[in-house]
Amino acid sequence: MQDLNKLRELANDITVLYVEDNDLAREKTCELFKRIFKEVYTASNGQDGLALYMKHKFDLVITDIVMAKLNGLEMIISIKQVYKSQRVIFLSSYSDINFLTQAIELGVDGFIFKPIDRDKLFDVLHKILMQIKYTRENKQYKTNLEDLVNQRTKQLKEKNIILLKTLEEVKKANYLKEEMKIAQSVQQNFLPKEIPNNNKMEVATHFEAAQFVGGDYYDFFFSSDGAINIVIADVSGHGLGPAINMSSFRGICRAVLSTSSYFQEQVEHINNMVCSDAKNNSFFITAFFIKFYEKQNRITYIGAGHNDILYFNSKKNSLENLSSVSIPLGIFETSKYQVTEKHISKNDFMVLYTDGLSEAINEKGEMYGLDRLIRTIKQNTHTSASELLNCITLSLKNFIQEKEKNDDTTILISKFL
């Protein structure tokens, strides 16, 4: 759960339009919003909400879907004709589930089911407010698409067709849960079933989406120079939207990182392509790209705003941080990404993870945290990759107990033999 004071700080100068046709729900929820935002405008239907929007530009629109006069989807369609990048959160009951696919296609930033879970609402607000803040601080965000977006591979197009067919199935479904299982199966098929054959690396992985599908991604595959690519990434948000973005990102990575280009050029190429997609959907991606050269006993890596790699140095018997020094993907086109090289030794290992692990919350509202993860690793430095992974996941399970996860969780351990 996000801290209320932290949300207030982020929302200091953010204006909000809240549209809800149920008077009691509107009054109750508005009281919660006013604890966070200084300026909250309300409307009782989409028509009045649209009229208010035309008079005032709002940083964030939060709206119900099913309403008289003009429903929430129709209102947002009209708003996005005026301001394409408008930040939007939909609030909806399960009876409105047929509108979910249309909401996703509109590029909304969050979807909260009623009755509203305060923790989930705060988490969604925190991520959107962070995105608004980041956009404001970087006003020189470039708008021109580059020719690279037209060079998408045939493989990437085929992957997107699969997801579009999945969305068509969602539209026809009677129950969201059954259709989400289909999407979950598609995403699971995107994750690697085994790593490329080699004699010097043992790998163990764990992936768990907060919902049926998620925005985390990991992968292993060969480059043309014989290196093994190791990738871990986290698309902002979680749910169907980030899952679609993740599948597109996977196709880009596999197409670009397998080429003979220099490593830095490959990642900069990937960033430019992600920027092209992010212009339409307002997302970003944190990632670590690693190339393992088995014969030379070395790795090279590029960090793009992702959590540090926890690297165990067997010769020094110490745990080191391999830091990410570059900004996330999808923020600025033509950004530069720095390559770092590291020589490895037998029994060294590295632990890569997404923030769903370190930021997991238990029933007391306590965060799992980096310190707890480091302690678990240090207690099991002489185990196999699989045994270490089991220790970490058991530690996490014992910590959160029955608490529902609010973010996707991915752990990737590579031990050098």
Interatomic CA distance for residues 167 and 183, integer angstroms: 8
* Rg of the chain taking only CA atoms, in angstroms: 22
β-pairing, 318-322 vs 309-313, is: antiparallel
Beta bridge partners of residue 56, listed in sequence order: none
Please give the sequence-ordered ranges of beta strands (E in DSSP) within 329-393, or none if there are none.
340-343, 349-353
What is the pLDDT, as a whole number, of residue 97? 60
Peptide bond into 196 cis (omega under 30): no
Least Cα distance to 255 among 241, 237, 238, 273 occurs for 273
Residues 6+ apart with CB under 8 A from 319: 310, 311, 312, 313, 374, 377, 378, 381
**Residue 122, C-beta contacts closer than 8 angstroms, at least 6 positions apart:** 1, 2, 4, 7
For residue 265, the SS3 value is: helix
Are the C-beta atoms of 16 and 62 separated by less than 8 Å?
yes
Task: Give ∠ CA 178-181-182 in degrees, rounded to 5.
Answer: 100
DSSP letter assigned to residue 283: -
| Contact criterion met (CB below 8 Å) for 285 and 329 | yes
**Per-residue model confidence (pLDDT) at position 100:** 72
pLDDT at 87: 92
> Nearest Cα to 247, choosing from 187, 295, 201, 290?
187
Distance CA 62, CA 15 (A): 11
How is the chain split into domains, by residue range? 4-137, 194-416
Q: Which helix (H) or strand (E) holds 198?
A: none
Contacts of 178 (CB under 8 A, 6+ apart): none
Residue 385, number of CB atoms within 10 A of its CB: 21
User: Contact 160/248 with Cβ under 8 angstroms?
Assistant: yes
- Provide the 8-state DSSP code for 109: S
Pairing of strands 349-353, 318-322: unpaired
Q: In whole angstroms, what is the distance from residue 324 CA to residue 285 CA? A: 13
Which phi and psi (to 5°) does residue 316 adopt?
-95, -10
Q: Which residue has the tokens 């830091």?
A: 323
Nearest to 48 by CA among 26, 73, 18, 25: 18
Tokens 């801290």 locate to 3
Q: Where are the alpha helices (DSSP H) in 83-198?
A: 100-105, 118-137, 154-172, 176-190
User: Which one-letter amino acid corresponds to residue 63?
Assistant: T
The bridge status of strand 318-322 relative to strand 409-416 is unpaired
Strands 228-235 and 216-222: antiparallel
**Buried (b) or exposed (e) across 66-94, using 16+ Cβ within 10 A?**
ebeebbbbebbebbbeeeeebbbbbbbee
Q: Where are the alpha helices (DSSP H) in 20-112?
A: 23-34, 46-55, 72-82, 100-105
Residue entry with tokens 């200084």:
38
Phi, psi of 200 (to 5 degrees): -125, 15
* CATH class of segment(s) 194-416: alpha beta
**Topology adopted by domain 4-137:** Rossmann fold (3.40.50)
pLDDT reported for residue 184: 47
Query: Tens-of-pLDDT digits for all 417 residues of the chain?
Result: 567 888 988 988 899 999 999 999 999 999 999 999 999 999 999 999 999 999 988 999 999 988 888 998 999 999 989 888 899 999 887 555 666 777 777 878 888 888 888 888 898 899 999 888 887 876 544 444 344 444 555 655 665 665 566 566 555 544 455 544 544 454 455 677 777 667 899 999 998 887 655 678 899 999 988 899 999 999 887 666 777 788 888 889 999 999 889 999 999 999 999 998 888 777 899 999 999 999 999 999 999 999 999 999 999 999 999 999 999 999 999 899 999 999 999 999 999 999 999 999 999 999 999 999 999 999 999 999 999 999 999 999 999 998 888 788 999 999 999
Q: Which pair of tokens denotes residue 346?
A: 């037998």
